[in-house]
Amino acid sequence: MVGITSYGGYIPRLRLNRGIIYGSNAWMAPGLIGSANGERSMANWDEDSLTMAVEASRDCISGFDKKKIDAAYLASVNFPFQERLNSGVMATALNLPDSIESADFTSSMRAGASALMAGINAVKTGDYRNVLVAAGNRKITKMAYLHELWAGDGAAALTVGTENVIAEYKGAATITDDFVDHYRGLGEQFEYNWEERWIKDEGYMKIVPKAVKALMDKTGITGKDVAKFVMPCVFGNVPVQIAGKFEIPKENVSNNLHAVCGDTGPAHALVLFVSALENAKPGDKIVMVAFGQGCSALLFEVTDNITKLKARNGIKGSLAERKEEQNYIKFLAHRRLLEQDLTIRAEANWKTALSTLYRKKGMILGMIGGKCAKCGTAQFPKADVCVNPECNAVKTQEDCEFADVPGEIMSYTSDLLTYTMDPPAHYGMVTFENGGRSMFDFTDYEIGKIEVGLPVRMVFRIRNLDHQRGFTQYFWKAKPIIKKEEA
């Protein structure tokens, strides 16, 4: 049996009310009022498609033996690197074995589904046992644009295997059709979209039914067998209309999360699929549809193992961890759509020594520290000499992963002089449950809510952006865990 063995999800905590976007642009685009309801997810300045995919993947593989994962696929149309294997960075951040295969999937809104199908086929052939499939997206749009309101930031991840399958893969059908609803040429920052009625009538309404029918013919199911119809679409009624063509009940069409998140592009099919799995029961048949230069339709049947899977934070947990953001200028600044005076303090040389990055990739990207084999003292970063003054053993350090070790704030500073995209900068000493300690930047903090003893969780984020050379630097930051009622 081949199928999904685990899932994970990540939606950034910040939520920007669409009414605020409309209010800031109504003077020149009053027509936006028709899309001003609800809110969209908003990535922090130090988040991108890659960091969000890492967070979704951490959620997905929690409790799994990483050594058993032998392939990692990542999908996005907003990768931070055009020529660097983004899935390779993800695999390093997750401390997956260096013997794994990795690949990037891009250029289409169904890239996430394509990555999933590649993972399924890899397991079916027997070449790989467990494949991690992740998709993340942070869409950059022009201001006063409908897609600025419709879009959302987020990620999802799935593992595909043959053991403890929670949703069995039953079949798939794909239509490839160069229907250009939108495109983004090489070197262009923004996409160009065609007319909406054309996209709806000639694209979704004609191409998607072909793929769904081919899937049903291939697997022998009918619409009445489908418990969940998962189909991302910015046109809210289209999935219901298409489902109706196959007698799939309206109530079985999955919520597209438009009101609370927005469309996460090529990640959204996986985001909605994870959301469906969170509420699924054994025996449910789930059809997942992804549209983009054609259409892919996949069928899964939920098994009894779904009741045994350890609880994940998932999409549901991410949506619950919500912080309202009302500053539209901050939203634009974090997406680098405004030219600001960042002061002299920002004029540092952020050049990355690629040789050092390679030699220290375990520490920098994977947050691997050391643990003394003689006395058991953990430390970060790893060093030749044990920091325990009663030990000081030399060359006894074994690898010790810190990313998932709980920590708390030992000391902190709130600094308005240090340059940061989200002032004031917060940083300080973090002590870990295993005894290690080190200095880290904080992220996703609440100003005035930081205090000594506050628990933190380590998260993979952008540290700096080398604009001169087009290089993104990543490292780990401490995210304070603040109870919702205290936020």
Kindly report the pTM of this predicted structure: 0.96
**What's residue 487's pLDDT?**
46
Q: In which residue are the tokens 């030399």 written?
A: 394
**What's residue 227's pLDDT?**
98
Report the alpha-carbon distance of residue 412 to residue 450 in Å, rounded.
8
Classify domain 3-334 by CATH number.
3.40.47.10
Report the alpha-carbon distance of residue 33 to residue 208 in Å, rounded.
29
Report the alpha-carbon distance of residue 123 to residue 117 in Å, rounded.
10
Report the alpha-carbon distance of residue 230 to residue 39 in Å, rounded.
21
**What's residue 484's pLDDT?**
59
Report the alpha-carbon distance of residue 34 to residue 22 in Å, rounded.
9
Report the alpha-carbon distance of residue 319 to residue 39 in Å, rounded.
11
Whose CA is closest to 155, among 90, 208, 98, 100? 90
User: 34 Cβ partners below 8 Å, 6+ apart?
Assistant: none
Q: In which residue are the tokens 């006894």 written?
A: 396
Give the end-to-end CA distance of the chain in Å, rounded to a whole number.
45
Q: Which residues of 246-285 are buried (b: 16+ CB within 10 A; e: fewer)?
A: bebeeebbbebbbebbbbbbbbbbbbbbbbbbbebeeebb
Q: What's the token pair of residue 345?
A: 């303090």
- Coil, helix or strand at residue 63: coil
User: 159 Cβ partners below 8 Å, 6+ apart?
Assistant: 4, 5, 6, 7, 60, 61, 64, 69, 130, 131, 132, 133
95-101 CB contacts, 8 Å cutoff, 24+ apart? 95/66, 95/362, 95/366, 95/368, 95/401, 95/403, 96/66, 96/69, 96/72, 96/132, 97/66, 97/67, 97/69, 97/70, 99/70, 100/69, 100/70, 100/71, 100/72, 101/70, 101/71, 101/72, 101/128
Q: Break the chain into its structural domains and give their ranges.
A: 3-334, 344-362+405-486, 368-401
Whether 3-334 and 344-362+405-486 share one fold: the answer is no
Classify domain 344-362+405-486 by CATH number.
2.40.50
Chunked in runs of 10, what are the mean pLDDT values of the chain (487 residues)? 98 97 95 94 98 98 95 98 97 97 97 98 96 97 93 98 98 97 93 94 97 98 97 95 97 96 98 98 98 98 97 96 95 91 80 94 97 96 94 96 97 92 95 95 93 97 93 97 64
* Predicted confidence (pLDDT) per residue in 290-323, tens digit: 999 999 999 999 999 999 999 999 999 999 999 9
